[in-house]
Amino acid sequence: MHRKNTASNDEDKSVYGTCLEMCPEAEFISRKRDNLLSRFEKIKEAHDEIQYIALKAYRRPAAGRMEILLHELRPPSVLLDTLRHLFTKILQWPNGGFDSPFLSALSTENTFLSLYNFIHDRVRSVRQDFIIQRIINSTYATALEWIIRFYILSFITANAILAEKYHSEWSETLHQEQLASALYSLSSLYLTPTMTLTPHKAEMLAYRILFHIDNTEAVSSFLVSLPRSTLSWPPIARALRFFTSFHCGNYMLYGKLLAEATFLEKALLLTHSVKLSKRAFQIMSKAYNKQSVPLDDVLNWLCGVDRETLVHVCRSLNIEMSTSIHFKIATISTRESRNEVKSLATYWSSERVNTTECIVKT
């Protein structure tokens, strides 16, 4: 009697997938038959022939006990190949906002949203396969590192590209939840006794601090879990200086740190940087009440913020601005506006290097 290649998901031992393709054959056949293959899975070749490179879609777990089909699970090497394909091939889709030149006039909201939603779905599928197989090794760590960089990059790209009317289709809350989940999973993985030191550990731990920069309780509890020796690692030490300057309202130190920050560090701090700029205006309004300060001086103090973003900040605060800024004491809301965030995201995105190099590091 033929025995099905299955495993129970409540067994203590790990299971090992046997699917050596990026998409199980049965799923590919089914989706092709039902015309459910994404345009990102179809590649035109010579003579307009279509080549299909399908990627396993995310599927919500069924309620209750679920039988695991090993031939539908991809082993770690295939999962990493899937992410590599997503981040080196699909992410460069023309006019999606991630291709070069970045944020070109041809970049469209619809293309970005379609591209992001496709990659986001396939990333969730990859994580699902890792979790089902209970994989705890450096391959999973590398996968999470790539995924985290993708979500950080997507955050600033979305804020730079999407107009207000498209934000109902872009769930920033869901996006940030996925990023938080990946950061938490990776931090826990790093602390596993059997894990070897990875070259990007300091970078990733620093990202978790920056992600929670406005939450003192979250950062404090995270720092307690870290070995004391890690606190002196340069990326973590810089993240802690960001944290301190943010909560102290030390906008000049914060600006200097921004000047030294990597692109992805800035991307994580996007909305927080706008908030601190507005807090800086509160401080300067008291110090320079009814005085005019040259615009260039303010830009130097708020290093990392460009002139256009400053225009939006002044406009939202009803502060006069020309070649100088005329400060006045007023009740100032530190809540960031869409225009301010979009302007700063666009400005910082002009500094972006190759997208693939941003994400795929070994």
| pLDDT digit string, tens, across residues 289-335 | 878 888 888 888 887 888 888 888 887 777 888 888 888 765 556 56
Domain shared by 282 and 328, yes or no? yes
Domain span at 174? 70-243
At residue 37, what is the residue type? L
- For the full predicted model, state whether its pTM sits above 0.85: yes
Say what the pLDDT of residue 36 is: 94
Say if 115 falls within a structural domain.
yes
Question: Average model confidence (pLDDT) for the chain?
Answer: 87
Percent of the chain with pLDDT strictly greater than 90: 55
Same domain, 190 and 276: no
The pLDDT of residue 298:
87
Q: Please check whether residue 17 lies inside any domain of the structure.
A: no
Let me know whether 231 and 97 are in one domain: yes
Asked if residue 1 is part of any domain, the answer here is no
Q: How many domains does the chain have?
A: 2
Does residue 291 share a domain with residue 155? no
Res 110 pLDDT > 70: yes
CA-based nearest residue to 235, from 270, 191, 199: 199
* Distances 15 to 24, 55, 79, 138 between C-alpha atoms, Å: 17, 21, 15, 17
Q: Cβ(143)–Cβ(123) under 8 Å?
A: no
Both 136 and 234 in one domain: the answer is yes
**According to the model, what pLDDT value does residue 329 have?**
66
* Confidence (pLDDT) at 5: 60
**Looking at the structure, do residues 238 and 259 belong to the same domain, yes or no?**
no
Q: What percent of the chain has pLDDT over 70?
A: 89
Assess whether 205 and 164 both reside in one domain.
Answer: yes
Looking at 197, 216, 243, the residue that finishes a domain is 243
The answer on 237 and 216 residing in a single domain is yes
pLDDT at site 64 = 53
Same domain? For 199 and 86 the reply is yes
Residue 42 lies in a domain: no
The average pLDDT across 162-180 equals: 87
Q: If you count them, how many residues does the chain have?
A: 362
pLDDT at 44: 67
Of the candidates 219, 243, 267, which is a domain's last residue?
A: 243
Are residue 259 and residue 238 in the same domain, yes or no? no
Is residue 23 assigned to a domain?
Answer: no
Asked whether residue 183 is assigned to any structural domain, the reply reads yes
What CATH number did the domain enclosing 202 receive?
A: 1.25.40.990
Same domain, 258 and 234: no
Tell me the pLDDT tens digit for each residue of 266-285: 999 999 999 998 888 888 88
- Window from 61-75, 111-125, 202-216, 300-314 with minimum mean pLDDT: 61-75
| pLDDT the model gives residue 11 | 46
**Cβ atoms within 10 Å, residue 34:** 8
The pLDDT tens digits of the residues spanning 235-256 come to 999 999 999 999 999 999 999 9
Choosing from 193, 212, 243, the residue where a domain stops is 243
Taking a C-beta distance cutoff of 8 angstroms, is the pair 115, 98 a contact?
yes
pLDDT band at residue 209, thresholds of 50, 70 and 90? Answer: very high
